[in-house]
Amino acid sequence: MFRRVGLLSLAVAVCLLLVAPAAVGAADRLQVVRLSEVVRSIFYAPQYVALAKGFFEEEGLSISLSTAWGADKGAAALISGSVDIGFFGPEAAVYIYNQGARDHIVGFAQLTTMDGSFFIKRGESEEFDWEEVRGKTIVGARPGGVPEMVLEWVLRQHGITPFVDVDIITNLAFAAAPGAFQAGLGDYIAQFEPAMTQLEMAGAGKIVASMGIEGGPITYTLYHARKDYIEKNRDVLVRFTRALYKGMKWVEEHSPEETAKVIEGFFPDTELEVITKIVERYKDQGTWNPTPIISEEGFEHLQTVMESAGELVKRVPFDALMDNSIALEALGMEE
């Protein structure tokens, strides 16, 4: 009896010795890519699908994901070399370029085509007209960031001058703003999901407008890399973009319910029903780019929005900051 157990244990051990090196070897062959995302939001659902479905591993990449909580912080991490790819709004790249940086950062893939924020008014009424915000207080975002600049752009399009006809609170940390609104600060708030739907479900107010629809098509959130990294690791970025595109196509071809189930692990504090509702809302309004190719027209609109906010010193040529050759190669559409 003991002899049979001993032989069995030996056989198992031998199998483990044979299998383990192969498994370790497979993991070792994956190239680690350090990715910093600007915030954690359902707004970026295709990225999380690509991560959860193993699309990056299929391209030989292992993604080390971190969250910067701000485009300024994400750009700083990218410039310092502490991450390889930075996922944030291209306004940061414009600022850096206009400061004369020698090794500026370059956008190589676009995920979102519009602002991901929604506008909530306090109370239970769903009736809304932009004129009613006049004389009120809006909980906004960081000055110089795209969410805040789009908010100001939209207000101007409706004849309302920011900081003159309406007060905008811009000194709150991104993560703290929804809680402050729920506690009674401000009459309106504009921010990303899932915070807005959670506020609505908590009875803090009603979503009355999409800042994406109001603001129009814009190069909103892009993947960036340093010029020197692109020169040395172009193949890595092509494979990264190809994996991302797989995630984008998967979301397009599957229902919001299916997408929600895949990404729910990235949002442990949000109910599946809420995630599903938000994915559906984003998908219905055309939030995600059909391909990773960066829109030149959207980039020009971004700079117009930046000029309107008084944040742009000088317009930057598209080709100086954007490189579509990587996305084209990933799609098999080399120029």
- With respect to residue 23, please indicate whether it lies within any of the assigned structural domains: no
| pLDDT (tens digit per residue) in 279-310 | 999 999 999 999 999 999 999 999 999 999 99
Domain assignment present for residue 170? The answer is: yes
- Residue 261 and residue 148 share a domain: no
Question: Of 215, 241, 271, which residue is a domain's last?
Answer: 215
In a domain, 1, yes or no: no
Q: Looking at the domain assignment, is residue 205 inside a domain?
A: yes
Cα–Cα nearest to 256, from 269, 270, 271, 273 = 273
Q: What pLDDT score was predicted for residue 334?
A: 63
> What residues are paired with 85 via a beta bridge?
35
Looking at the fold, whether 322 and 241 belong to one and the same domain comes out as: yes
Task: Give the pair of three-digit tokens for residue 51.
Answer: 């991560």
Q: How confident is the model at residue 145 (pLDDT cuts 50, 70, 90)?
A: confident
**What is the average pLDDT value for the chain, to the nearest integer?**
90
pLDDT tens string 9-19: 334 333 333 44
Residue 85, both tokens: 């790819």
H helical segments located in 115-221: 146-157, 177-182, 195-201, 211-215
Q: Are residues 223 and 326 in the same domain?
A: yes
Assign 168 to helix, strand or coil. Answer: strand
The 10s digit of each residue's pLDDT in 77-122 is 999 999 999 999 999 899 989 988 777 899 999 999 999 999 999 9
CB burial of residue 87 (10 Å; 0-12, 13-18, 19+): buried
Length of the chain: 335
Residues 108, 236, single domain; the answer is: yes
Q: What is the number of structural domains in the chain?
A: 2
For residue 4, tell me if it sits in a domain: no
Last residue of a domain, one of 215, 249, 266: 215
Reported confidence tier of residue 70, pLDDT bands at 50, 70, 90: confident
Query: Is residue 5 scored above 70 in pLDDT?
Result: no
For residue 32, the SS3 value is: strand
pLDDT of residue 175: 84
The amino acid at residue 84 is D
Same domain, 56 and 92: yes
- Domain match, 286 and 325 both: yes
Token pair for 158: 């409706």
CATH number reported for the structural domain that contains residue 100 in this entry: 3.40.190.10
In this structure, is residue 2 part of a structural domain?
no
Same structural domain, 94 and 241: yes
Both tokens assigned to 107: 């956008």
- Comparing 5 with 68, which gets the higher pLDDT? 68
Q: Are residues 48 and 136 in the same domain?
A: no
Does 12 reside within a domain? no
pLDDT digits (tens, 9 = 90+) for 243-270: 999 999 999 999 999 999 999 999 999 9
Q: Is residue 157 situated within a structural domain? A: yes
127 Ramachandran zone, left/alpha/beta (phi>0; psi -120 to 50): beta
Quick one: pLDDT at residue 23? 38
pLDDT of residue 85: 98
Is 232 in the same domain as 103? yes
Instruction: Give the model's pLDDT for residue 335.
Output: 55
Last residue of a domain, one of 215, 243, 261: 215
Q: Is the domain of 54 the same as that of 131?
A: no
**Cα separation of 164 and 305, whole Å?**
18
- Distance CA(42)–CA(272), nearest Å, equals 12
Interval 214-249: pLDDT, tens? 999 999 999 999 999 999 999 999 999 999 999 999
Residues 315 and 263 grouped into a single domain: yes
Residue span of the structural domain in which 103 resides: 29-114+218-330
The answer on 106 and 224 residing in a single domain is yes
For residue 194, say if its preceding peptide bond is cis, omega within 30 degrees of 0.
yes
